[in-house]
Structure 1
């Protein structure tokens, strides 16, 4: 890397002494046709991306906002928008089923609102990390670009709010996962928010003004996050990072992050029954009547049970239902949230590794830890759906219904050094997937982050051409002008 910088500086110096009379507007590296995108990116740390909420949520300008601030935004966005925000206000009403029948009133000029029933499809993907593909995690960059373009959002200036349409855990966790996804892809935290409370409840209490009809309109603009030159991908904790940390750095893994100097602390953000291994926390849906007929798949299905239940080694439990009101699905007070975290035994300053059953459910706890309490936190998106799938199972007859068939696999997790309170699930409830031997001994689980970093640092030609009405005249193809 140092050599690259020295080479770049040398080239610029040579041009400075050899190209006298260059027009002031001509960007020197551009005249050499050098793509500086990799050098322009800033890689952020979990601490830099964290947000410490005001103890009075009403005073927050981003992160977790209340109806008080939200209604002020809507009433006069141009005068009441947060400092440093120059663009539009964009609201997504998140509804996973049904509808409140009420829609946030917007002017179609500086404020825009959209009901979105398929947010999990729009802002999630099934992706392969190199070990085991998992559904419901951050999508590829193109999906984010498509979302921002389709809804006319400019990530360089616009402010986005995710709000529950009606009050439910599914809507709340979908909103926090959407927040996590945009933040992961480089959207600045200062212009992202989750509304504390649902549109339906806030309408009923006359806290906000809504209408019974909706007409789609947008600002007719939009852009991806590449041009922000921000790399927030550290928010994603891979299973390789996690196992490497649990083993105190004693693995032969490649492309894993070093152990944080401040130490780490693992939090299991699932209900207590799942944490203790007494509940089948990974079961959902009924697409497969007979789970064992799902053969030859490398995917973890969200319709069956994983190989075993339990928890990740040394994890403490932060019960998600403690964090919000079970009726309004509003988050509890700052003081209460801080107390719940303290009760886990967390020592201030340590980096937190948090996981849930899956990425969406885990994002709710991540949001509280990282964007309300301000703790440096990374989300293990694979969650127990991936971790609990990587157990060894050898049935008396028939093919093994577990992903791991090699006892010495690098990715076997049902061992005392990596998990606790293990309880095997019945063979009939475990999908019949098995990883090939190459996957079981692969040394990296960083495929997703590599892909995403590559996407962010793709060609910057479009970015270079925007905002200036095309390339400057006078320089032509000659590096020295003329």
Structure 2
């Protein structure tokens, strides 16, 4: 053990000499091809990963940045980039619902921009936590590594901005979820940003210089989050963690995090109608078709509804539409956001547990809490899609049984200790999941985080063959050359 400590000290001192002035995540062992993962990996807490915005958004260097700041970055990246960044500036124009026809001007040397219509598809997957799989969860390690490869990103050095192309909720939520996805996979918060406003509006106001044509360019380099030696998976909240806390630690579940010593505060980031159980929060209309004969291993958005409506017990409502302007889709002022959170009854220092109907839309609320207001927040991505699906119902004649068929199942959620305002949905609109008995009594829902921790440390391919093994070089030069 003493020898190992001296070895680490040697490489640390050598890195200081050879990489003077570089950020802490640009570490020498990447270049030397040494697998020091067991010694160097660090687990980050939700508090460490949060960002407290300046009350004047123009002053932010990362997190939420303004068009003025992005314009300054693009005008002369070498001179104006944050001093903790040594790589390229990469801007993603999020085009989830059409294109503005304007494109960020970039030099294809140190700045790059990419219009992307399918950002959600590139970063999410249907994932199984060991209980009930759900779509729209942050993707596996290979998928994130593939994303870096497609766009020539080296996570060890580069700075990324997710910018809504036009002003709408689809683009904004895609941008905030992309930010969450990369942060979850170890990308440093100091080199991640979401643009406050859209490329179209900021062009019209002469804040950003854009062009009507686009020419593709790629830096032709890529890296993997394994080179960062960072584990950020603590920001994800599992249903097991949630149930264990709701039961005051008196559960027989395994692989769950203890109740935080400072206490927790549960926030429901849905509309008030969904929070009060007066509307279906997961689907509507003709998409109910054939739900009684549907046999599915995962809950997929916009197909059928959950077993019941309501809210998780003791949750407080933070309405997402209060947090941004409904026309420009820019976030409200810092002081307004502080007031909205205060109105929920939030007590300072408590760890926030956040859920909504699903991860992508609710990421807007997560971004406000965690990356603007700086509150330590754990995000239950599966949200009401999973929690509300795990109820027990007695189907009418000819209907299919629900996911939970055993009243004593560890994962049954439509009980007064776990939920409030419990309102059953019609049998005809609820799909047939019918979990087998082993799933209804499995003791852990930690499968996703376990897979991702293994991938980060090189002991798993995370569902694919590329990106496995020990840490590799981030662009070929650990000092950023």
Residues 131-189 of structure 1 show CA distances to partners (whole Å, capped at 9, x for unaligned) of: 00000011000111111111111111110000111111111111100000000000000
- Corresponding residue for 1:20? none
- Corresponding residue for 1:383? 383
Are 1:236 and 2:229 counterparts? Answer: no
- The 1-side partners of 2:478 and 2:426 are apart by 63
Distance 1:103 1:285, change over 3 A: farther
Distance 1:320 1:39, change over 3 A: same
**Preserved contact between residue 163 and residue 199 of structure 2 (Cα < 8 Å):** yes
Aligned length: 448
- Displacement of 1:55 in angstroms is 0.4
Structure label with greater radius of gyration: 1
Q: CA RMSD in A?
A: 2.2
- The 2-side partners of 1:348 and 1:172 are apart by 27
- Displacement of 1:316 in angstroms is 0.2
- Displacement of 1:463 in angstroms is 4.1
**Preserved contact between residue 163 and residue 175 of structure 1 (Cα < 8 Å):** yes
- Displacement of 1:206 in angstroms is 1.2
- The 2-side partners of 1:35 and 1:219 are apart by 27
Unmatched 5+ stretches in structure 1: 1-7, 15-24, 470-482
Distance 1:431 1:84, change over 3 A: same
SS for the counterpart of 1:153 is coil
Greater shift after overlay, 207-216 or 182-191? Answer: 207-216
Residues 338-394 of structure 1 show CA distances to partners (whole Å, capped at 9, x for unaligned) of: 000000000000000001110111211110000000000010001001000000011
- Corresponding residue for 2:2? 9
- The 2-side partners of 1:184 and 1:461 are apart by 18
Residues 397-456 of structure 1 show CA distances to partners (whole Å, capped at 9, x for unaligned) of: 235342110000000000000000111111111112110010000000000000000000
- Corresponding residue for 2:98? 98
- The 2-side partners of 1:251 and 1:267 are apart by 22
User: How does the TM-score come out when normalised to structure 1?
Assistant: 0.89
Greater shift after overlay, 390-399 or 445-454? Answer: 390-399
- Corresponding residue for 2:298? 299
SS for the counterpart of 1:421 is strand
Extract structure 1 runs of 4+ deviating beyond 6 A: 11-14
- The 2-side partners of 1:13 and 1:79 are apart by 38
Distance 1:284 1:102, change over 3 A: farther
- The 2-side partners of 1:268 and 1:42 are apart by 30
**Preserved contact between residue 155 and residue 474 of structure 2 (Cα < 8 Å):** no
- Corresponding residue for 1:455? 455
Unmatched 5+ stretches in structure 2: 8-17, 19-28, 459-468
- Displacement of 1:39 in angstroms is 2.2
Are 1:429 and 2:429 counterparts? Answer: yes
- Corresponding residue for 1:467? 477
- Displacement of 1:75 in angstroms is 1.0
SS for the counterpart of 2:259 is coil
Residues 178-235 of structure 1 show CA distances to partners (whole Å, capped at 9, x for unaligned) of: 0000000000000000000011111111110111111111111111110000000001
- Corresponding residue for 1:189? 189
